Amino acid sequence: MKPMYIAIIAVFTLMSCNGTGKKDTSYLPNSVGNINHLQVVINNDLWNGPVGEAIRAHFAAPTDGLPQDEPLFTINQMPVSTFTDFARTNRIFLYVDLGEENNVKIAKNEYARPQVGAIVTATSEEGLVELISEKHDQIIEAFHASEIKERQRRTKVSLLDTDSLKQYFGISIKVPSAYRIAHAGKDFYWMRKSLKSGTTNVLIYEVPLNTITNDSMAVGQIIKMRDSIGGGYLPVEDEGRFITEDAYAPYLFKSEIDGKFAYETKGTWEVKGAFMGGPFVNFAVKDEENDRYLILEGFTYAPSVQKRDLQFELESILRSARFTN
């Protein structure tokens, strides 16, 4: 076993216990890093070969639902020997090295807090490639959940007053104070934030439960719904209409908001003839108690600007929704 790997195991062991048998993280430093910036700890020879190619293929893959390719994570690679001291405080990290067994471990708060790391070891390069290919979804899900929490933590520093949402829709939601309420009503609620070039927007409304009937019909029904509501309420110049971009099929996932089932749809919107468009993320939350789907949507209009992190902020806002009755 490599000396550095032995040292890491020793650190994990020392950091793992306190008098109650639970890991004591009170002494750990605060984690650092920009949202969705991933520290990849791997020696150069592995990084420049098939193992590195597998990592880049999965962790720098294009983000779903954006009009231009932007990587899922912004990656910074460093050799194992330099993974010490401050370098170990990145909020999310992927550690990949050869070892005496094939194993993938999701480690929380090992060197800093909050922190999520994935440790991948195998007895051969082929084994590393196989593990990364098999387990990348699980690892990405852990990183994504961690980054959503961090983005929500930053939002809580200064919040917009959205108490009227409880009256209109029976929910609370945490929105940064940089947003303003553009329209508030029981039929349609719209919040927006101005950017240097464009805006980010949050829409909330409800539709009858029978609007979305089953999984096989969901994509078409969600597109029809959002084109009808968004196209009807959002003001567009020159008689244009805010609709779903029809050139690319949206991505549909099953998700959850506040313990309730939700369809998550990611795609692009457009205003035909106006050369306007951008990405959207839409959650249709099944609220059987109130015989409705609660619709939470975020969309961005920001020409010539990268949109991954803007959409990620919107997703974190929508995922903060909580039902109050």
- Structural domains in the chain plus CATH codes: 3-155 (3.30.379), 164-323 (3.40.1000.10)
Per-residue pLDDT at 241: 67
The residue length of the chain stands at 325
**Banded model confidence at residue 271, pLDDT cuts 50, 70, 90:** confident
Helix H or strand E encompassing 246: none
Bridge partners of 293, per DSSP, are 207, 286
User: Which residues lie closer than 8 Å to 246 by C-beta, 6 or more apart?
Assistant: none
The model's pTM is: 0.89
Cβ distance 138 to 144 under 8 Å?
Answer: no
* Amino acid at position 47, single letter: W
Q: CA dihedral defined by 5, 6, 12, 17, rounded to 10 degrees? A: 170
Query: Cα(309)–Cα(96) distance, rounded to whole angstroms?
Result: 26
C-alpha 228: how far from chain center? 27
Top-confidence residue, 118 or 247? 118
Question: The tokens of 157 are what?
Answer: 């520093």
Distances (CA, A) of 300 to 54, 79, 308, 312: 31, 37, 10, 11
pLDDT in tens, 172-187: 999 999 999 999 999 9
